[in-house]
């Protein structure tokens, strides 16, 4: 398999509420919800760095499309890492997530590897780590 992962899709309970969280609360760029004309097709995409996209799709629709039963989100089964270029961006991002309705799991603090990081759980239970790692800085925008 060639490493061509281009979309990470999060199952969400409420598509409109999740759109507001990611677009308005975290400031991720999006064209909004598309695909409403298709049964089980409403989805929103957010442009991330390097051509990667984050999608939100109703968990009920994912269950319908895949044929799998719906299960609760497990915050410890999968994490999303958001790397920032500057240490203070960790605090800023965690604060924006809190204002948008996220639960702060771990307040930002120094890490064992010389970085600075914190965790929040989004409104659907997905766990995000916001991290500044001086050895792994993301590219300039």
- Give the pLDDT of the chain (141 residues) as one tens digit per residue: 888 899 999 999 999 999 999 999 999 999 999 999 999 999 999 999 888 999 999 999 999 999 999 999 999 999 999 999 999 999 999 999 999 999 999 999 999 999 999 999 999 999 999 999 999 988 886
Integer Rg of the chain from CA: 16
pLDDT of the residue at 133 = 96
pLDDT in the model for residue 1: 86
Domain boundaries, the chain: 7-65, 79-132
**What is the CATH superfamily name and number for domain 79-132?**
2,3-Dihydroxybiphenyl 1,2-Dioxygenase, domain 1 (3.10.180.10)
pTM: 0.92
The superfamily (CATH) of domain 7-65 is 2,3-Dihydroxybiphenyl 1,2-Dioxygenase, domain 1 (3.10.180.10)
pLDDT confidence of residue 98: 98
């Amino acid at each position: 398999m060639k490493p061509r992962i281009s979309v990470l899709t999060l199952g969400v309970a409420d598509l409109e509420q999740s759109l507001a969280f990611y677009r308005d609360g975290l400031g991720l760029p999006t064209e909004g919800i598309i695909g409403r004309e298709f049964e089980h097709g409403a989805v929103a995409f957010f442009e991330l760095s390097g051509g990667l996209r984050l999608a939100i799709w109703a968990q009920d629709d994912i269950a319908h499309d895949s044929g799998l039963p719906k299960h609760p989100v497990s915050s410890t089964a999968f994490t999303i890492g958001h790397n920032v270029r500057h240490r203070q961006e960790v605090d800023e991002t965690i604060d924006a997530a809190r204002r948008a309705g996220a639960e702060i799991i771990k307040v930002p603090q120094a890490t064992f590897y010389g970085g600075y990081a914190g965790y929040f759980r989004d409104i659907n239970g997905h766990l995000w780590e916001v991290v500044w790692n001086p050895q792994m800085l993301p590219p300039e925008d």
